[in-house]
Every structure is written in structure tokens, then in C-alpha cells.
Structure 1
Amino acid sequence: MVDGYHGVIESLFNKAGITINGLQDLDITVHNEQFYKRILSQASLGLGESYMDGWWDSRSIDQMVSNMFQADLDHEVKQNSKYWWHILQARLFNLQSSGRAYQVADVHYNLGNDLFMAMLDQRLCYSCGYWKGTNDLDIAQENKLDLLCRKLNLQRNDHVLEIGCGWGSFAQYAAEKYGARVTGITVSKEQVKLAKERCKGLEVDILLMDYRELEGQFDKVVSIGMFEHVGAKNYNKFFKVVKALLKDQGTFVLHSIGVDQKISVTDPWIDRYIFPNGKLPALEEIATTCEPYFVIDDVQNMGPDYDTTLMAWHERFENAWPKLSEQYDERFRRMWRFYLLTCAGAFRSGQLQLFQVVFKHRNQRRARYDAAR
């Protein structure tokens, strides 16, 4: 049976220009023959977990994944009955336990700030940089922060709400460079602690709370890399809350990973190991859900910049591994490497996008239009 599974997987990968045990950097070297059955029975979850287990390697996982998306292998499987026959057989007779997966997940969910301080830029921006005119991660992230401030038309003494403030990178930048007052919220105790330390002495308040608990009025609102965790059932609530919090003449800027077409489920490997309960929006979903509350004033797609950002994070992560290995094991290293490189490949293929969307209140946008006439 293994030979049959082998043939199916080899045929699929060949459609993406990937050779099993080939010589290209993007080719896959298989170390365990059960790899083929595992991929057919568990799809992307099996691909990721078998990599974590050391069952296969590739010198360029990022390009391998990019090729797989460009070849639309998922669609190929859905349309071809011969593949489904082998998949069904593998799933019916696959008794492999996934118990070990939760052990690794526990390690991941208990991560400390040491990993992110080693991997990210000096401001600890855990979102896409803006690489125009630079090849330096620190500058790219400052470029991104400044771009957001300019899209907000940020003025001195503006009171800005940041929904999902991370470790305080935007709050610190906006307060230092633009003289703004910032209220940042996050659901992470670790982020609150470090963000408060980094923003000490500035007009910045960092709060541990959910966006649905917010009250008050703000001149500007920004959300960077948080909307991915809102969930489709809560999109309407999210925009409704932001509308209530934003002053009539205010601006809201949303910075979010998205997808090239609407999807109903999250990749199971990402859901289990990296971002549980996440949901990536299509631009259509953002536009449709915001319609009762806002008018979209501008949209920028920065997907290629996230590819570059992820590759920079990967390089820093690998360089820092000798020190990080004191806290994390080799299985975690392979999990984190797979996460960074597969995401880079997904952005490179265009399957993943990065949207920056500028919103205005409907009456404000209409007033500007009438004035222009």
C-alpha cells in the first residue's frame, strides 16, 4: 500500500515542479516512508506534523509551499477521483494518534518574550513591515508605523485607540514621533507588562481587555494584526464597536492578513500550533461587513512585504537558535521554522494578502465629496 500512496503524492508534487528526493532546493527529501500515507490522511496537518517529527526536509520550504499554492494542488485533489480513493483508504485505516501534537502545542502556547525579542525588530513589531527603499528590518517596521500614522492623519494630542497593541510598538512610536496620546488594549498579560515598560513616561495607557468592553470616544482608531482573531461571526460586532468609539471626524485604519478568496475554515496545522481559532478575511468580507458603519477611503495590498518580513524573521530566528535552544527543543525549532517559511511561501504565491484599509464615517466621506464638487 505504501507504494500506492507514494505514487499519488509524487504525482501531485510533480504538478508543482517538486521532486521527491530530487536535487532542487525546493524538492523534498523523505526520511520515513510513512510520510506519503500521512499526507494523504491528514493533508496540511500531516505535512506540518511530519516535518516536526523529522520525516522529511527541504532546503527551501518557502518556495516549495509557494509552488504548491501556485499549482493549486488542493483544487487538483478535489477534482480528481483517483486521489480521493487513496485519501479515503488512508483515512479509513489510519490509526495514528495525534496525542503528541498537544505536547508541542503546550510548549508553543507558553512561549516567553525571549523568542520574540530575538526574532523581531527592536520595536517588537509582530506584523508586516514596509520595505520600500530599504532592506533593513528595523527601518521597514518604522516605515510601516509611520505609514499608519500618516494614513490616520495623526496630529499632536490626538487620542488614538489601538485595538491589539502587542508589545507597544505603535503606541510608543505614535507618542514619541507624533505627540499623540494612545490607549492600547490587548488580551495578553505578558504583552501588557512589557508594553508598559517600553512606553513608560509617554502619554500611553496599556489595558488588559477585550475590544467589546471598550467605552469612550477617540480621535483615531487603529488595529494592527488583530482582526485575524476576531472571527467571521464577530465582524459585524467589531465594526459596530469601532464606529461607536470613533469621533465623527475620525479615521480608522485596519492592518490585517487576508486571503485571495473567501474561506470557511482555517488551515488545521496553523489552527493547532500557531493561531488557534483564527480566521483570515477576504477583502469582500471586510467591505461587506463594514458597509452599514463606514465608507472605505483607501485600500493598499502589501502582501509581498510580508514575504520579505517573514524571511527576515526566519533568518533572525535561526541565528538566535544557539541561545534559544536553552529554552526550546528541536521539535519546537522545526515547528517554528515550518510556520515562518510556509507563511512566507503563501504570501509569495499570492494566496495570502496583507490589507491596509482606511475607513471614514459615512457622513464625513459625503461631506468631503460635496466640498470637492
Structure 2
Amino acid sequence: MNPVERRHANSRPPAASGAQQAVADLLARANVAINGGRAWDLQVADTSVLDCVISNGNLGLGEAYMDGLWDVEHLDQFFHRVLAAHLDQQVKPLGLAFHAMRARMLNLQNLKRAWTVGEAHYDLGNEFYAAMLDPRMTYTCGYWRDAGSLAEAQEAKLDLICRKLRLEPGMRVLDIGCGWGSFMGYAAEHYGVECVGVTISREQAEWAKARYAGLPLEFRLQDYRAIDERFDRIASVGMFEHVGRKNHRKYMEVAHRCLADDGLFLLHTIGKNQRSSTPDPWIDKYIFPNGDLPSIGQIGDAADGLFVVEDLHNFGADYDKTLMAWHANFEAAWPRFASQLGERFRRMWKYYLLSCAGAFRARDIQLWQWVLSKEGVADGYVRPE
């Protein structure tokens, strides 16, 4: 080889590894390029990231993003394309086989473990969540049909729940997984009901008690399995995702024993399209420990013989808008929290919000509201508009 040929040979980029080429080929199916010029193209600072994807799937991809080893201008657009092309189903890393087996075999949401998510996620601090959420601190999907802002979408969702439950003054309502009390406060203020709410987050319970002092509301730091009282209505908004497949039936049995014979139960939950899927390992490790999205079939199995399904409403596309609004608020407020939480947390939280927005946009996951009764509504149930 002469000196000119040697110089040109030395200037060529190193050949991609088999794993790196496999990832590049997969991404091409979603019209995503590595180091391309579009808003959804991956910008890779270290090609070892691509090996991590093959060996650890989304866990490796997410951790590498947190470490700043890759970036993309719009994470939501990247995940929308990847999940719409079902690329996640093409990567089956052996390193995550134990994670999948653990989720299927163990009860990760038993009485002892159920408190983990409250401490790890919901107790991050009320100031942090107040900066990201709407004024009522509603940490679930808004209803955007006629809404022009996050606050309007959340109030519209709360009112829709109240109307679906056919609330009337004087009713006693149970909120399983009450969060910061947004549903309970709204229902008491606008529909004249009294409510009992249970949460596994001390921060949520303390904030809600102060926020809604003077209303007929009781906030309890309590696991749902301990409830044994009768209520005219039951709502559960964004909590069932933490119940776990091993406990779905128990949850429905608790709701059944606590609901009046002529009552209504509204279940608002994120859901998955496939019964047999495994919880996302990155979300499980960094965001919602022991979370487990249910499928329609799993919810149906749990309610079998206990409830009549009066209505099933899917407005999962609205979660995309909700998450994008939360992300905008988070980014605007970040300078207040930067020194306390650090850059790795910022990238983690951004990855969480925008990857989920992309997933809902791709219709990879759903948002359902179920209305259930014990004996069936006489003359049939009509969903309010």
C-alpha cells in the first residue's frame, strides 16, 4: 500500500460492529437514521450505545441517554416512530429474561412492596409536582376534546368522571389511589358529595389535607386492601397501573365489597394492547417501581362475575397532549430544581415524559375509563357527552 492509499485507509471510519449494524437496520424500518439531520434522528456520541440496545433493550437505551451518550432533538418524535414500527418487539435481549420472569412469577405489588412507588416516585416533593402539573395537581390524563389548556383539560376530565358516576349531593364516595385529591376536591365543590381517599404517598396526603381543609374529605395513608366500608360510588383514577396482575382480582373484590348494590365504579387506567407483555425495564427501574400495565383481557378476567361493564371509553391519544404539556412545564421550571436534582435527573425525567408521549401517539399504550356496576343499570347506562 503506497502512502496515499495508507492515508485514505486511515481516514475511513471504523467498521460498525454486528450489533451496531443491526440497530441501524432496525431503525431504518422506522425511518430513523443514526447521526442524521432530522428532528427524530439519533445523534450518537459513543457507538457502544448501540451494543447496549442489543444487550439490554430500552433499559440500556434509557441509561445511555441519562449518561449523555446519545441525544435526539425531539425524543417524542423518535419514540413515536420506533413504537409505531413495533421495533421494541424485535429486540429480545437475553439480559432481561430474568426481569420478564420476575414480573410473571412474583407478586411485586404485595402489601410490603406496594409502598415502594409512593416513596420513590410520588414523594419526590410537592413543589416539584406543583411546577409540572395543573393547579389541582392532577397527575393523570386530561380530557382535551374542548380544552385549550392543561388546566381546562384536567377540569374537563374530573367533570366527566363526576357525570359518568352520576354523582348527587350527599353521596359518599371512595377514591382508591386519590393522589393529591383533585377528583375528591372537584367532586365535593361541584357535586356536593363527601369523599374518602386512600394513598400510599405521605407527601400527597399531607398536601391534600391542607389544600382541601374545610371540605367533607378524608385522606388516609392506607393500602387499598385494608378498606372495608360501603360507599355509594367508587372512583380510581390512575392507580390500577400499580396493582399488578397477581392482585387484579383482589382489587376488584375490594371494590365489590365496598360498593353499594346500586352503585357505580369508575376505573381510569393506562393499559397495554397485549396480555402477555412485560413491564418496561427502564420505567420499572427509574420511574414506577413494580408498575404493571393491565390489558383489557386482564381487567375483564378480574371483574368476571363481580361487575357488569356498563361502559368502556378509550381516549389514550389525549395522554400525548397531557405529557407534552407536563414536559413544557417541567422544562420551564427546571432552573428552580437544577442544583437540587442534577442534570442526570433532568435527562431521566425528560426521557420518561417524552418516551411516554411517543408511546401514546403511536397508540402503543391506551387510556381507558371503565364504568362498572354490580347488578347492571336498569334500562341501560348511557355515557354522558
- Whether the TM-score (by the shorter chain) exceeds 0.5 is yes
Correspondent of 1:64 among 67, 70, 78: 78
Q: In 2 relative to 1, CA 292–107 (structure 1 residues): closer, same or farther, beyond 3 Å? A: closer
How many residues of Structure 1 are paired with residues of Structure 2 in the alignment? 344
Partner in structure 2 of residue 34 of structure 1: 48
User: Displacement of 1:77 after TM fit?
Assistant: 4.1
SS at match of 1:194: helix
Query: 1:347 maps to what in 2?
Result: 360
Q: Cα distance, 1:107 vs. partner?
A: 7.9
Q: State the SS of the aligned residue for 1:221.
A: strand
SS at structure 2 position matched to 1:327: helix
Matched residue type, 2:73: R
Q: Report Cα offsets for 1:93-147 as digits up to 9, x if no partner.
A: xxxxxxxxxxxxx986761112111000000000000001122000000000000
Change (3 A) 1:213 1:110: closer
Query: In the alignment, is residue 25 of structure 1 matched against residue 39 of structure 2?
Result: yes
CA contact (8 A) 1:2 1:37 kept: no
1:204 partner letter: L
Paired residue for 2:27? 13
The superposition leaves residues 193-220 of structure 1 with CA deviations (integer Å, 9 ceiling, x where unpaired) of 0010111000100011111111211000
C-alpha separation between the residues in 2 aligned to 1:111 and 1:361?
38
Q: Which residue of 1 aligns with 2:109?
A: none
Distance 1:178 1:108, change over 3 A: closer
Q: Does 1:3 align with 2:17?
A: yes
Residues 123 and 204, structure 2, Cα contact 8 Å, conserved in 1? no
- The amino acid that maps onto 2:126 is N
Distance in 2 separating the partners of 1:213 and 1:33: 51
Q: Residue 136 and residue 179 in structure 1: after superposition, are their counterparts in 2 closer, same or farther (change >3 A)?
A: same
Structure 1 residue aligned with 2:271 = 258
Name the residue aligned to 2:241. Answer: 228
Correspondence 1:335 to 2:348: yes
> How many Å separate the matches in 2 of 1:351 and 1:36?
23
Say whether residues 1:111 and 2:93 are aligned partners. no
Structure 1 residue matching 2:52: 3-state secondary structure: helix
Instruction: Give the aligned residue type for 1:24.
Output: R
How many Å apart are 1:34 and its aligned residue?
1.2
Could you say which residue in structure 2 is the equivalent of 1:277?
290
Look up the equivalent residue of 1:12 and give its one-letter code: L
SS at match of 1:232: coil
Corresponding residue number in structure 2 for 1:203 = 216
Structure 2: stretches of 5+ with no match in the other structure: 1-14, 97-118, 381-385
- The CA deviation string for residues 259-314 of structure 1, in whole angstroms up to 9 with x for no partner, is 12213420000000001111101112112220210000001001000010000000
Give the corresponding residue for 1:368: 379
Deviations 1:19-54 (A, max 9, x none): 000011000000112111111111100010000000
CA 1:107 to 1:195, structure 2 compared with 1: closer, same or farther past 3 Å? closer
C-alpha distance in 2 between matches for 1:232 and 1:19: 37
1:356 aligns to what?
369
Query: 1:54 maps to what in 2?
Result: 68
Work out the CA distance in 1 between the residues paired with 2:192 and 2:222: 24
Question: Scaled by the length of structure 2, what TM-score is found?
Answer: 0.86
The question of whether the paired residues in 2 share the 8 Å contact of 1:129 and 1:305 is answered with yes
Distance between the aligned counterparts of 2:357 and 2:74, measured in 1?
11
Decide whether the 8 Å contact of 1:108 with 1:332 is kept in 2.
no
Percent of aligned pairs with the same amino acid: 48
Q: Distance in 2 between matches of 1:252 and 1:75?
A: 35
The offset of 1:2, in angstroms, is 5.3
Q: Kindly state the Cα deviation for residue 184 of structure 1 after the two structures are TM-superposed.
A: 0.6
CA distance in 2: counterparts of 1:368 and 1:187, whole angstroms: 38
The aligned counterpart of 1:137 is: 150
Residue in structure 2 matched with residue 310 of structure 1 by the alignment: 323
Give the Å deviation of 1:358: 0.2
AA aligned opposite 1:14: A
State the distance in 2 between where 1:230 and 1:197 align.
27
In the alignment, which residue of structure 2 is the partner of 1:320? 333
- Aligned equivalents of 1:169 and 1:77: distance in 2? 39
SS at match of 2:367: strand
Deviation at residue 74 of structure 1 after TM alignment: 3.1
Distance change in 2, residues 1:34/1:14 (3 Å): same
The aligned counterpart of 1:101 is none
Matches of 1:174 and 1:107 in 2, distance apart? Answer: 29
Instruction: Tell me which moved more, 60-69 or 218-227.
Output: 60-69
* Amino acid paired to 1:210: D
What's the RMSD between the two structures over aligned residues? 1.7
Counterpart CA distance in 2 for 1:291 and 1:130 is: 29
Query: SS of the counterpart of 2:311?
Result: strand
1:77-226 matches, within 5 Å, as 77=91, 111-226=124-239
- In structure 1, stretches of 5+ residues that fail to align are 79-86, 92-105
**Does the residue aligned with 1:275 lie in a helix, a strand or coil?**
coil
Name the amino acid aligned to 2:67.
D
**Which residue is equivalent to 2:90?**
76
1:247 aligns with 2:267: no
Write the letter of the residue equivalent to 1:125: T
Q: Is the 8 A contact 1:255 1:357 kept in 2?
A: yes
